Amino acid sequence: MVMQLSAMKEFLVLAQRLNFLTASEELYISQATLSRHIKDLEKELGMPLFRRSTRKVELTPFGIRMIPFAKRAVALDEDIAKSVEDYKEQVSNHLTVGLVPHWDRIDFGRLIAGFRRQYPGIHISIVSRDSADLLKMLEDETCHFALIRAASKPTESSVPICDDPLYAFLPASHPLAGRSSLSPKDLAGESFLLGGDGELSYELALAACREAGVEPQVLYHGAGPQQLYFLTQGIGVSIMFEGPMLDNQSAVVRIPLETSVMAKIYLVYRPETLHDAGRALLEFLLQYKF
């Protein structure tokens, strides 16, 4: 048995008013529509709910018996509707922002703290993933915004935030360690410690060298702690993006690389998925001076 909750609500109003005209006006429907709905409900239940005469409308014993059940059904429906709306409000006030690892050109914590002071009712979650994972999260709608590193605009709605240049990383004991900048030509003949396949730093390091007419001699091709370890041991040089992983390494120096090859940091989002909280964060981020 599948009863329309709207018909149950109409039954309760008519049971209270016992007048089709008064009940239909309260429900903003015609008397004929109300009468048809009640008849359909009685047919589905298999029992009359009302006795009708030209003078009055009365509840049948079965109609009286049905009132508490109808009230519980309507109350449950209202509770479900409220729960759904509460959940939607909770979700609409929660934003997930993704960041590429090892990028500290801005104090993002301070930025988010400023946003939360301005919008205390909006909750922010921050995740750190590589750019490919963040783009997948945006596609899956598990992330609302992402600050990613890319060589070109990743999506139509992407907003370039700032340049993300390449640097040369050398052992502090290297003869070129005191230079204020270096060209890839200065590193010709060196043993290179480069990122892994598919990593943007690897692709752009090769592009920067080849732009300068240098074919790098790659000693190590990978990423992570091993690359850092080889650098600190003085067995090679590297070209990659700046990042905090070398900030406390006195054995390694970071020198700006003279090249037109670089990445950018993009703010990426999907406009069609933004709600009010998302639009507030977007406006806040676009006003920030990166």
Give DSSP secondary structure letters for 226-275: HHHHHHHTTS-BEEEE--GGGTT-TTEEEEEB--S-EEEEEEEE-GGG--
Fill in the amino acid letter for 46.
G
Quote the Cα angle for 211-216-172, to 5°.
105
For residue 126, what are the domain limits? 93-160+264-287
Cα 162 to Cα 76: distance, rounded to the nearest angstrom: 53
The pLDDT assigned to 1 comes to 46
Does the pLDDT value for residue 220 go beyond 80?
yes
The pLDDT assigned to 91 comes to 45
The pLDDT assigned to 20 comes to 92
More reliable by pLDDT, 11 or 273: 11
The pLDDT assigned to 193 comes to 93
How confident is the model over 197-217, as a mean pLDDT? 91
Count of domains forming the chain: 3
Q: What's the pTM value of the predicted model, to 2 decimals? A: 0.64
How confident is the model over 230-249, as a mean pLDDT? 79
Structure tokens at 175: 């003869």
Are residues 145 and 117 part of one domain? yes
Element (H, E) at 81: helix 61-92
More reliable by pLDDT, 236 or 244: 236
Domain end position, chosen among 91, 124, 146 = 91
Are residues 256 and 169 part of one domain? yes
Buried b / exposed e along 238-251 (16+ C-beta atoms within 10 A): bbbbbbeebeeeee
Are residues 185 and 56 part of one domain? no
How confident is the model over 9-24, as a mean pLDDT? 93
